[in-house]
Structure formats: structure tokens, C-alpha cells
Amino acid sequence: MSSDPLAIETVGLGKCYRSTWGLRDCSIDVPEGSISALVGPNGAGKTTLLRLLMGLRRPTSGKARVLGRPPAQEEDFLASVGFLAQDIPLYRQLSAAEHLRIGAHLNRGWDAVAAEQRLAGLRIPLDRPVASLSGGQRAQVALSLALAKRPRVLLLDEPLAALDPLARREFLTSLADVTVDGDVTVMLSSHLVHDLERVCNHLILLTASRVRLCADIDDVLSDHRVLVGPRRSTAELEHLFNVVKATQTERQSRVLVRLDGPVLDPEWETSEVGLEDIILGYMSQDDTLAAGPLSLAGGVA
């Protein structure tokens, strides 16, 4: 995919809030047509990154380019990027139909028919105030509004957070449906790695305001292995590979590594590792991020 044109590109992107960095030295490439999972613990900078890409915040350092241009208050830019903010903000007293009418007035290329059909297909009442809809229905309304713009890039900030497992699945199915043609690039932030794995093909992992991984999920999976062997120092391994996480028990060493070559030492038993475990491995690197693994448990909650 690396030869594909880039939908989103950032170089050294940083955002400083008073004295702390919300996002630091973020350099990512997101290919066109990909569906990126933006994962990381709370406060890792996911929202900051998405808002920088939408132009709702200004970077302290570095550059961002979305569809080849810096985010700006220009109609062309706004028309090509769809955004769904955290907590799914809608005008509570207005109905879905009224939101669609508002959207039609605020956007040039507005696909009201498709949006109405989507919502009708999901049996979401168009004429009731959105405040009376369920969280899942509201999220679907907001997604329909974002899609009705016919954006080329769609940025979704924690759209699954408020949804129950069934609504989550429906939302992700909808998302997979609309992105099947590959003409929309989606970036979707969430804690719920498990859910994202089904629809996403690209991964961006943020911890402590920094990018840890930005790659195709297939590549991430093939690049990471768990090595298990008799207890010993990992210094030798660290020399060869990027050791993500080492766990020592009394008799055993268990090491998550990012490979850039074969493991030659026969003492190590090599096995494949799931995406969730890889992500957890990176998240638990920082002692300060003790809450990280817990926040991933949302898929079970």
C-alpha cells in the first residue's frame, strides 16, 4: 500500500496545551482508501490528532496535510472532510430530518436521498427529536450526516464509546458497507481494539502523546512475534530486534518483539501474536499508563 497516494500525511505534528504535550512529533502516512484504527489509552492524543486534522485546532509544531492540503477554514477543505466528534454532538431538540435539511443548506454536494435511505433501512425515526433516540441511533444519524457530505476523508472520534455491543456491530457494519468501494478514507479512534480489527486495515497506535505504530494491520501482525524461552536477559535480543515488552517469570522469559529478520537462536520458541496483545504490549511499556489495558477491556464491558 505504500505506493498508494496518501490521504493523510503528518510530519512532526505536535500540539502543546499550556505546559503538556497533547500530541508530540507525530509523523504518519495514511494511504487513500484505508480504514485506520486510531488506538491508544485515554489522553494519548487521539482526539487531539483528529481535531488537528479537521482544523478545529492549530498545531504547535509540524505539519498536517489532508488530501494534499493543510486543514483550513476553506469551503473546499470542509466539503471534502467529514467529521464526527466525540459524544456525537447533535441539536438535541431537532429531528434527524431537520438535521438532514440543515446539512443540505450548509453543504454543496449533499446526498440526502442516500442518508434517508440508510436511516430508513435502520428503522430510525426521522421525525423525532434526536434526544429521544438511543445512543446507537444517534450515532447512526451522525454517521449518516457525515456521509451525506460525500467526504473523501472521514474522521470519527470515539463513535463507539457510547454504544452497546449490538449497536457497535451495526455501526461498524454500516461503516464497512460505505467504505467498500475504497473511495473514502476513514480514521476511527477507539479503545475497542477487538471491534476495530474486523473493519480496519490500518493501525495507528498512540501512547503518551507519541506515535508507536503506524502501519497496515497485516504488516503489524507479520512483524510481531512472541518469543518464549528459559529465563534470561533480553539484552541480546534487544541488540537484534525492537523489544516491545519483556515479561519474566521465575523460569521463563516471554518477549514481544518487532522483527526485522529471522530469530536464529533455537532457545527461543517463536509464535504469532494477536493484534490486541501487540497493542497491549506497547501500551504497557509506560508505567504511567497503568490504565491502558483496563481501557481496552471495553469490548467485554
Partner 1 sequence: MTYLIWRLHRVHAIVAAGVIVAIAGLIVPSGIAIANSYHHAVTNCSINHLGCGDIGGIVFGSNGVFTSLVQDLAMAIPLVFGILWGAPLVAGEFEAGTEDFAWTQGVTRRRWVLTNLGWAFLVAAAWGGALAVLFTWWRGPDNAIDGPVKFIYFDVQGIAPIAYTVFAMALGIAAGALFRRVVPAIMTTLVAFVAVRIVTALYFRPLFAVTKNVSALASTPPLSYSLGQDILGGSNTVACQTLKCQAAHGAYNHISYLPASSFWPLQGVESGIFLVLALALAFFTYWSVTTREA
Q: Does 18 bind partner 1 (CB under 8 A)?
A: no
Sign of CA dihedral 100, 153, 169, 138: negative
Q: Does 107 bind partner 1 (CB under 8 A)?
A: yes
Q: Does 14 bind partner 1 (CB under 8 A)?
A: no
Candidates 82, 159, 229, 292; binder of partner 1 (CB under 8 A) is: 82
Q: Are 82 and 111 in contact (CB under 8 A)?
A: no
Burial degree of 79 (CB within 10 A; 0-12, 13-18, 19+): middle
Helix, coil or strand: residue 31: strand
Query: How far is CA 139 from its chain centroid?
Result: 16
> Which amino acid belongs to residue 301?
A
Q: Does 79 bind partner 1 (CB under 8 A)?
A: yes
Q: Does 98 bind partner 1 (CB under 8 A)?
A: yes
User: Of 56, 61, 100, which is closest to residue 78 (Cα–Cα)?
Assistant: 56
84 grid coordinates:
464526527
In the bound state with partner 1, the residue whose beta carbon lies nearer, of 26 and 81, is: 81
The whole-angstrom separation of Cα 296 and Cα 301 is 10
What residues between 143 and 202 interact with partner 1 by CB under 8 A?
Answer: 145, 149
Taking CB under 8 A as the binding criterion, the range among 52-60, 180-188, 246-254, 286-294 that sits at the site for partner 1 is: 52-60
Q: Are 128 and 95 in contact (CB under 8 A)?
A: yes
In the complex, least distance from residue 196 CB atom to partner 1, rounded to whole angstroms: 22
37 grid coordinates:
484504527
120 CB neighbour count, 10 Å cutoff: 11
216 grid coordinates:
497496515
In the complex, least distance from residue 145 CB atom to partner 1, rounded to whole angstroms: 8
Candidates 4, 58, 173, 272; binder of partner 1 (CB under 8 A) is: 58
In the bound state with partner 1, the residue whose beta carbon lies nearer, of 70 and 165, is: 70
Candidates 6, 13, 39, 78; binder of partner 1 (CB under 8 A) is: 78
Count of residues that interact with partner 1, criterion CB under 8 A: 32
Candidates 24, 46, 51, 202; binder of partner 1 (CB under 8 A) is: 51
Site residues for partner 1 per CB under 8 A: 51, 54, 56-58, 73-75, 78-79, 81-83, 85-87, 89-92, 94, 98, 101-103, 105-108, 142, 145, 149
